[in-house]
Amino acid sequence: MRIDVITLFPDFFTSPLSSGLLGKALAKEIAEVHLTNPRDFATDKHRRVDDEPYGGGVGMLMKPEPIFSAVESLPVLPKRDIILMTPQGQPMNQKLLGELATNYDQLVLICGHYEGVDDRVLNLVTREVSLGDFVLTCGEIPALALINGVVRLRPGTVGKVESLKAESFEAGLLDYPQYTRPAEFRGWEVPEVLRSGNHGEIERWRKEQQIERTRDRRPDLYAAWLKDSDKES
């Protein structure tokens, strides 16, 4: 998979893309990330990428020309999605990350700045994605989250594929509680069932914990899970 990031601040990605599991995956060429600065495509002597909005208003907007030129300079793979990172987009979730990791050869991520981008940029993009219902100073943060989430799901990134199937959101439920040694720490003990060696009981306990946690912490997910469960039954 090829991931292209259109960003005014390529240095923002230097450390995260070379660290941890993500860094190892990129080193193994499970995916490749390329950074393109739209300022390199500005045509005026000051290399401006922003300007005042028509009609007045606070702040500046990113100009369309440098963004279009930056995207048009990239190679085009057969299955490509051009994504604008914006608070107005569809919420980023595990289902979306799975779709992007599975169905596309190339992702182009456009990182907005200032008060946003000229709306004509929407004629270029195929999808708008948001990290959540809040506003950040830049699109690089949600872009990095998307890269991490997508590359993590690519074959070869995570050692044990089974761990991806049991984690939060994959089955519509939050993950179950997990423990490691020591068996007792400051008076808190690991549940006896996990030390029993009875794998059937452990699986039942874990499923019960997933349901309870989702019901208590994310009633919205729990309601959706109940609805899906009724459809299947």
174 located within any domain: yes
Instruction: Give the residue numbers spanning the domain of 228.
Output: 162-232
109 located within any domain: yes
45 and 116 part of one domain:
yes
Strands 80-91 and 127-130 turn out to be: parallel
62 and 122 part of one domain:
yes
| Domains in the chain, number | 2
99 and 33 part of one domain:
yes
pLDDT in tens, 2-12: 999 999 999 99
pLDDT in tens, 167-214: 556 688 999 999 999 999 999 999 999 999 999 999 999 999 999 999
Q: What is the pLDDT of residue 166?
A: 55
When pLDDT is cut at 50, 70 and 90, the band that residue 27 belongs to is very high
Residue 85 has pLDDT above 80, yes or no: yes
61 and 119 part of one domain:
yes
Spacing of C-alpha 43 from chain mean position: 32
How big is the chain by its Cα radius of gyration, in Å? Answer: 22
Distances from the Cα of 10 to the Cαs of 13, 17, 159, in angstroms? 6, 11, 29
